[in-house]
Amino acid sequence: MMRLIWSQLPLKSTVDAAVHALKRSSNSLVVVGDKAYVYGGEQTPRVPVDNKLWVIGLEDGSVSPAPTSTLRPSARVGACLTYKPETASLYLWGGRESKDMTPCNSDLWTYGLVSGEWQKSAIAAGVSDEDNVEGRSYHAMCIAAHNLYLHAGCPAQGRLATLHSVSLSSSSLSAPPTWSPLFAGPGPGRGGTVLCPITVPGSPEPLLVRYGGFAGHELGGTLDYFSPARRTWGSIALPGSEGSDPGHPLARSVHALVPVSPPVDAPAPGHGHVVAIMLFGERGPAPVHLGHMGAGQFHRDAWALMCTPSAVSAANEHGFLFAELKQEGEGEDGGVPEARGWFAADWAQGIHGGRVVVQGGLNDENNRLGDVWLGKIEV
* pLDDT tens track for 257-296: 999 999 999 987 678 999 999 999 999 877 665 565 666 7
As a whole number, mean pLDDT of residues 143-161 equals: 96
Q: In this predicted model, what pLDDT tens digit does every residue of 167-201 receive, in sequence order? A: 988 655 556 778 999 999 999 999 999 999 999 99
Q: How far is CA 39 from the centre of its chain?
A: 13
Query: Is 87 strand, coil or helix?
Result: helix
Looking at this protein, which amino acid is placed at residue 177?
P
Instruction: State the pLDDT at residue 134.
Output: 92
Q: Residue 208 in contact with residue 224, Cβ under 8 Å? A: no
C-alpha triplet 321, 327, 332: angle, nearest 5° = 155
Across the strands, what pairs with 191? 214
Positive or negative CA dihedral for 21, 25, 30, 36? positive
β-bridge pairing 272-279 and 282-284: unpaired
Say if residue 95's pLDDT is above 80. Answer: yes
- pLDDT score at 127: 66
C-beta of residue 330 within 8 angstroms of C-beta of residue 7:
yes
Which residues are CB-neighbours of 230 under 8 A, at least 6 positions away?
A: none
Q: Please give the model's pTM, rounded to 2 decimal places.
A: 0.95
**How many Å apart are CA 303 and CA 281, to the nearest integer?**
12
The domains located in the chain, with CATH, are: 3-378 (2.120.10.80)
For range 350-356, the mean pLDDT: 94
| Average pLDDT in the chain | 92
| Residues in CB range of 141: below 8 A, 6 or more apart | 80, 82, 91, 93, 94, 148, 149, 150, 151, 195
For residue 239, name the pLDDT band (cuts at 50, 70, 90).
Answer: confident
